[in-house]
Amino acid sequence: MSDTLGTRLAKVLPKSTTFHVHHLSTPPTKCEPLCSPPPNERPDRTYCEKHFLCVSIDRPVGTGEVKNKQVLILGVEVFIFTTARATTIFVSKADSTGYLHILNLPKGTPSPIREVCATFVNFLVDTRRRKDVQLVISLFARAQDQYLFPGSVKNKGKHVLDDRGLVKWWCRVLDPILGHRIGGYLVVPGHDAHETKAFLPKGSTRWTTDHPLEKISHYTKEFDWVPPRCLIPKYPDDPKSRFRDELDDEATRTKSFRLTGNWKSVKTLDTFWEMMAFRQECSSGRLTGFVWIVFDDEAQDDTKKNSVLPTPNVSSTEQPQAPETPKKSRTLSNVAVNTTPRKLFTSKTMAGAVPASATKKTSKKQKKKKKKLTGIVIARAPRIKTAAKNYEPKAPSHTAHYAWNEEGRGERIVREADYKRMVELLLHLDFSTLDKAAASTSRWTGEVGMGASFGYGVVGTREIPTGTNDANPSDPSTNDLNGLVKRKRAESGAGSEVNTLGAGVIRKKPKPEETAAPAVNTLSAGLVRKKPKKD
């Protein structure tokens, strides 16, 4: 965890190749909870921390002077949702411009795009992991021509993966994270378990073709039965979140929805995933994959406990305790859906809350009469709002709901409103050509840096094994003609020789005596034409 993001990226990037890293983040701010609480229950207090990582490279220097030297090649957006019980790292968007080919990396070089994405996610895991607090990585893979860089689809060097290729790509990116107590889950709506296994990396045994929504929810540990809508998290721009909102609108007017929180048409999670296969995002020839990586911290060994962040301290003298989960009285499978709501969710009066009649009396006593304002109205002096270039957040680094370490923050920390403005600016630029992409890169880094330099250079240190043919093609000692030599069919007649040619590479020089006495060509009768006589 002592390694910075720059040192980690240097270990996986090609040797002697310079990349520029631009890391933007926000402090944890309070947001809406990911999952809806059951009836008569308070929602989880949730905080969201946003990260935006961009990587750029230098343009090749030609004969003329290049005005804009850097060009963006990759952008990744990650949201970190934290509560007192769990930490969720949600990969929102990832896109490339297709201009990585201008580096002319040797053949066999591992993809820097994949290495940067895997290293960045791993970096956030190590800097946000808390002791005895569950951590989950979540994303959905849906292929599009362009996500973050407008016009980049017009670049012929951009390789756009299809739906199947993108799901496989993300599984390969996250596969190295899996360990002994870490499991991966993949759900592809419309595909059974056998078909889903085709998307997983070959030889990997830590993947499951199912969802972990019941496992990662703390409501299933507190109650005998939980409505499906309370187990489905609501991420931004997520297909299953939009489907959940439609089901909520459909069941809002029903009485059972207000009492039990259950939908009208979808009663179980299995039905929810079956109907997801008929959604527009997952049908009509399209394919969407939902991926989870679940870290199990409940039974970890001593070696892994040392690498996990300690329990956060609000102050130096007091250490808050995480809320305890009540024990279950029955298993989830033994409880029917139509159980009495009182047995499912305890009311506030049963939990020792103040009765409603008492609250009404106290509220009447606390109300005071409003005083009438009299006198001369004095206008307040206008305040001039100035934006500080170096924003210093006042949020504490450790609370009971999140851990915001200094080593895990971005190079530039901005407010929530400024973050949205900077991302929106990127979505209005043009990356269709190399010159336009370089100009857009210069404008975006200048706006985010507010006149100062934004980004730092990283020189790769990873050795790239190259073959003999890729090392120096012009060196004749590296040419191997084995397997290219073909035997020419022998000609009929005495004195004919057999020439061995290397697929048109080697040609035999004719002998002088052969050129001195050429053979007589015999033409067939059909090829001889008689010249007409002139009168």
CA torsion angle for 95, 97, 98, 104 (degrees, to 10)?
A: -110
Indicate the helix (H) or strand (E) that contains 502. Answer: strand 500-502
pLDDT over 90 percentage in the chain: 53
pLDDT digits (tens, 9 = 90+) for 203-255: 888 999 999 999 999 999 999 999 999 999 999 989 999 999 999 888 887 77
- For residue 499, pLDDT beyond 80: no
Average pLDDT over residues 384-410: 79
Query: What's the confidence (pLDDT) of residue 452?
Result: 81
The residue ranking higher by pLDDT, 332 or 50, is: 50
Please name which of 43, 80, 48, 86 lies closest in space to residue 298, comparing C-alpha atoms: 86
Q: Read off the pLDDT of residues 374-388 as tens digits, 9 standing for 90 and up.
A: 888 888 877 655 545
Q: Helices 239-251 & 269-276, crossing angle to 10 degrees?
A: 120
Q: What is the pLDDT of residue 311?
A: 43
Length of the chain: 535
| 344 HSE (CA, 13 A, CB side) | 23
Q: Does 72 have pLDDT greater than 90? A: yes
pLDDT in tens, 133-142: 999 999 999 9
Contacts of 118 (CB under 8 A, 6+ apart): 12, 173, 174, 176, 177
Residue whose tokens read 């971005």: 410
Query: What is the model's pLDDT at position 479?
Result: 41
Give the span between the Cα atoms of 60 and 65, in whole angstroms: 11
Of 371-375, 390-394, 518-522, highest mean pLDDT: 371-375
Which has the higher per-residue pLDDT, 304 or 91? 91
Q: What's the 3-state SS for 42-109?
A: CCCCEEEEEEEEEEEEECCCCCCCCCCCEEEEEEEEEEEEECCCEEEEEEEEEEECCHHHHHCCCCCC
Q: Is residue 363 predicted with pLDDT exceeding 60?
A: no
The residue annotated as part of the active site, out of 44, 95, 163, 238, is 238
**What pLDDT does residue 465 have?**
73
Q: How far apart are CA 494 and CA 512, in angstroms?
A: 18
Greater confidence (310 vs 23) lies with 23
pLDDT per position as a tens digit, 475-494:
433 344 444 444 455 444 44
Instruction: State yes or no: is 435 an active-site residue.
Output: no
Q: Quick one: pLDDT at residue 323?
A: 45
Q: Collapse the DSSP code of 532 into the 3-class scheme (helix H, G, I; strand E, B; otherwise coil) and give the result.
A: coil
45-60 tens-digit pLDDT: 999 999 999 999 998 8
pTM above 0.85, yes or no: no
Whole-angstrom CA distances from 66 to 71, 101, 323 are: 12, 18, 59
The better pLDDT of the pair 284, 435 is held by 435
Query: What pLDDT was estimated at residue 497?
Result: 42
Tell me, what's the pLDDT at 377? 86
pLDDT at 532: 67
pLDDT, position 219: 94
Q: What's the confidence (pLDDT) of residue 510?
A: 52
Helix axes 416-426, 434-449, angle to 10 degrees: 170
**Tally of CA atoms within 13 A in the half-sphere of 439 that contains its CB:** 9
Higher-confidence residue: 2 or 93? 93
Predicted local confidence at residue 284, as pLDDT:
72
Residue 469: band (very low, low, confident or very high) from pLDDT cuts 50, 70, 90: very low
Rounded mean pLDDT of 167-171? 96
User: Which residue type sits at 285?
Assistant: G
pLDDT (0 to 100) of residue 71: 96
Q: Which segments of 97-247 are extended strands (E)?
A: 134-141, 182-187, 207-208
Top-confidence residue, 524 or 121: 121
Dihedral sign, Cα of residue 321, residue 322, residue 326, residue 330: negative
User: Rounded to whole angstroms, how far apart are CA atoms 263 and 256?
Assistant: 8
pLDDT, mean over the chain: 79
